[in-house]
Amino acid sequence: MTAESIPSYSVFELNAAIGNLIERGFAPRFLVRATVSKPQIKKGHLWLSLTDGEASISAVIWSSKLKQLSYKPKEGEGVTVVGKLNFWAARAILNVQVLDIRPSLSTVLRQFEIVRDQLIEEGLINIDKHRALPTFPEAIAILTSQPSSALADMLKTAKDRWPLTRLIILPIPVQGNVGKEIRSTIEKLANCYKTLGLKAIVIARGGGSREDLMVFDDEDLCREVANFPIPVITGIGHEDDLTVLDLVADHRAATPTAAIVALLPNQSEVQLQLLNRRDKLDDQFNWHIRQEKQCLSQRHNELNNYSPLKLIKQKKINLSHRASILEALSPDLWLSRGFAMVKSSQGKAIHSLEGISLKDKLKIYFSDGEIEAKTEAIYPKRPTKEKQ
């Protein structure tokens, strides 16, 4: 090969040719999973290294893009990057220009564990402190994105179950680094919930990846919810998704719709319960009436038994019986039968010879008069011999 047949480049031309080769031979967009190393801001741009433990490559997030991103990576966090290759011909430097960046599942779960453990230690996550949900809430607030299919399902379910409850919809962002915005809404609500007549609030978000729910692991947001003055119920993601916000809330529902089901009564069930209660009240009322009738009947009988006329009649009968007894025991009756009654001169009735002496004056009464007598002799009755 002669010198004339070998391509000749200046340094810049060589670097430019390499850049063109890379641009033509590599995908214009790609995903890369890596761990962030040495992130630092320079002139508004975020520079970092992406590594997998075996190799590394430089990356940059331009300031214009950095302002648009909801997630800012930190040292050691796992990420998934949407990027493209940048080759600077002037210095032959190759790096990844970050178009989008999101935390990996491992980063999300680590953040979840850190915040959860911290709040458990402070006592903000404590099942014993969970408050009971209101039975028939007059008004509730629903914090979720609007419009969304999750909100539409919640509104339909609320109308079907208990249309008497007044619903106050507060739109909030539910994805990305929006914890501050959600917290601001909750703070304002805490200052006016009495005026609005709220009995509970629902924080809801439809399905998504666990990485999309990272905002609900925000420590400051979870503290705000833990100290909210009325019960809080969450319906975030799917049944398998668990966030720190679910743990500090008073009740966690598997889905947004399930949150409404847990909070609002079912009007059909309530109607059936009321009918059953009415039947029980009717039974109790009828039983009470029967008892009162029986009691009145007993009292009526008692009053009849203690009627003054009846008592007077009974007294007359008793007096008549006593009069008959007195008449039967009257001395005059015995005297009329031929008996006589003997009394001493002092008028004391004499029943035996004991106490009578000779010359004593006696009075003897008959049915038709009396006589006076003097004791001339006393003849005691001789006792008869007992038969052998």
What pLDDT does 388 receive?
A: 44
| Strands 166-171 and 139-144, bridge-based pairing | parallel
Do 221 and 252 have their domain in common?
yes
Which pLDDT score, from 0 to 100, does residue 195 have?
A: 96
pLDDT one-digit tens code per residue, 97-122: 999 998 888 888 988 999 999 999 99
**Domain match, 72 and 138 both:** no
Q: Per-residue confidence at 339, pLDDT binned at 50, 70, 90?
A: confident
- For residues 82 and 114, membership in a common domain is answered with no
Q: Which of 288, 264, 207, 268 is nearest to 240 (CA)?
A: 207
Residues 127 and 251 in one domain: yes
Identify whether residues 257 and 134 lie together within a single domain.
Answer: yes
> Which residues, in sequence order, are bridge partners of residue 34?
79
- Name the pLDDT band for 304 (thresholds 50, 70, 90): confident
Are both 38 and 113 inside the same structural domain?
A: no
Residue 198, pLDDT > 90, answer yes
123 and 256 inside one domain: yes
For residues 63 and 44, the answer to whether their CB atoms sit within 8 Å is: yes
* DSSP state string for 294-363: HHHHHHHHHHHHT-HHHHHHHHHHHHHHHHHHHHHT-HHHHHHTT--EEEETTS-B--SSTT--TT-EEE
User: 228-258, pLDDT tens digit by residue?
Assistant: 999 999 999 888 889 999 999 999 999 999 9
Mean pLDDT of 54-75: 90
Range of the domain at 185: 108-265
pTM greater than 0.85 (yes/no): no
Same-domain check for residues 211 and 240: yes
Packed helices 256-263 and 149-161: angle between N→C axes, nearest 10 degrees: 20
Q: What is the mean pLDDT of residues 262-288?
A: 93
- Structural domain ending residue among the three candidates 87, 103, 119: 103
Mean pLDDT over each residue of the chain, to the nearest integer = 89
Q: What are phi and psi of 227, to 5 degrees?
A: -100, 10
Contact 207, 245 (CB under 8 A): no
- Among candidate residues 84, 102, 67, 90, the one with its CA nearest the CA of residue 14: 90
Please determine, for residue 69, whether its predicted confidence score (pLDDT) is greater than 90. Answer: no
Q: How many domains does the chain have?
A: 3
